[in-house]
Amino acid sequence: MTDSHEYTLPRLPGTDWPQMQPGWVWLVGAGPGDPGLLTIHAVNALSQADVIVHDALVAPEILSWAQPGTEIIYAGKRGGKPSAKQRDISLQLVDLARAGKKVLRLKGGDPFVFGRGGEEGQTLVQHGVPIRIIPGISAGIGGLAYAGIPVTHRDVNQSVTFVTGHDQSGDTPGSLDWAAIARGSQVIVIYMGMKHLDRIRAALMEAGRPADEPVAITSNATTPDQRVLETTLGTCLEDAARDGIEAPAIICVGRAVLMRQALDWQALAAGMAPRNTDPLGRGRPAEDR
């Protein structure tokens, strides 16, 4: 370990950055990928941690912001690499804290959104380890914003439903009441949905969602590899297969997807004209009416 700081935190008025204490675990969200989407609290933690335990979805660039000498432990559970069991990860955090380390548990997106941060936090508390939670920008909100899709829009929805395409066994989406979700939510944002896209689509259509309903699949959102496939409920399986788009991806079902025709800000920044400035056909924006 070294005390040298490679960067200093921005000096903002009235801020007193919390110090990490030995024996504590901070459960920190790293956002969906783009390092600029870290919170300042997360950067503060990166500058102090003795050890960082991170997931696969945390960008290498973010880890490179740790202090030189920081121990970096990979605890991801992605295909291909050996997978750590959730219980083992939590107990490893307990051990590191008990060894007097300042432990930064860095998770993709927000630690409490489909990230098992709640489970890890509970195990830590049950073992008497003090914790701090630092939220992050979740892929289902920030990732879609990078695709130019607002998860709520006055002309489309008053609610949004975030669902996981995996149930606790990690296998099937069978434990969700898809019919209720289909009836109750105009916009549905699905995490971990690629594996069971066929079943999810079938369930939504059986519950009455139309085949021509807009769907966007956004993979590697906010990273240089971001890709967005605009499709429909009826054709999304075939289109995804043809396109080759893969996890990690966020699936958004609903008319909010159409707003991308106006709000694809990355295309606009690249000099393209908006495809449609009134994708919902309402004339002026709701705020003008």
Catalytic residue among 34, 50, 55, 110: 55
Indicate which residue of 77, 155, 195, 243 is catalytic.
77
**Residue among 76 and 285 whose Cβ is closer to ligand SAH:** 76
- For residue 20, count other CB atoms closer than 10 A to its CB: 20
Which one, 193 or 214, has the nearer CB to ligand SAH?
193
- 55 is known as an active-site residue: yes
Whether 119 and 13 have beta carbons less than 8 Å apart is answered as: no
Secondary structure letter of residue 10 according to DSSP: -
For residue 228, the cross-strand partners are 218
CB-count burial class (<10 Å; 0-12, 13-18, 19+) for 224: exposed
The active-site residue out of 50, 101, 192, 194 is 192
| Nearest distance from C-beta of residue 266 to ligand SAH, angstroms | 14
- Give per-residue burial for 231-264: e unless 16+ CB within 10 Å, then b: bbbbebeebbeeeebebbbbbbbbbbbbbbbbbb
Q: Residue with CB nearest ligand SAH?
A: 109
Distance in Å, CB of 143 to ligand SAH, minimum: 5
CB 24 within 8 A of CB 124: no
Q: Specify the residue, 48 or 222, whose C-beta has the smaller distance to ligand SAH.
A: 222
- Applying CB under 6 A, the residues found at the interface with ligand SAH are 32-33, 57, 107-110, 113-115, 138-139, 143, 191-192, 218-223, 247-250
Smaller CB separation from ligand SAH, 97 or 192: 192
**205 carries an active-site annotation:** no
User: Which residues lie closer than 8 Å to 67 by C-beta, 6 or more apart?
Assistant: 1, 2, 4, 5, 6, 46, 47, 48, 49
Q: Pick between residue 24 and residue 146 the one whose CB is nearest to ligand SAH.
A: 146
Instruction: Concatenate the DSSP letters of all residues of 163-225 into one string.
Output: EESS-TTSS-STTS-HHHHHHH-SEEEEES-STTHHHHHHHHHHTT--TT-EEEEEESTTSTT
Other C-beta atoms within 10 Å of 65: how many? 16
| 226 versus 232: smaller Cβ distance to ligand SAH | 226
Q: Active site includes 101?
A: no
- DSSP, collapsed to helix, strand or coil, labels residue 259 as helix
CA angle 91, 193, 216 (to 5 degrees): 135
Active-site residue set: 55, 77, 192
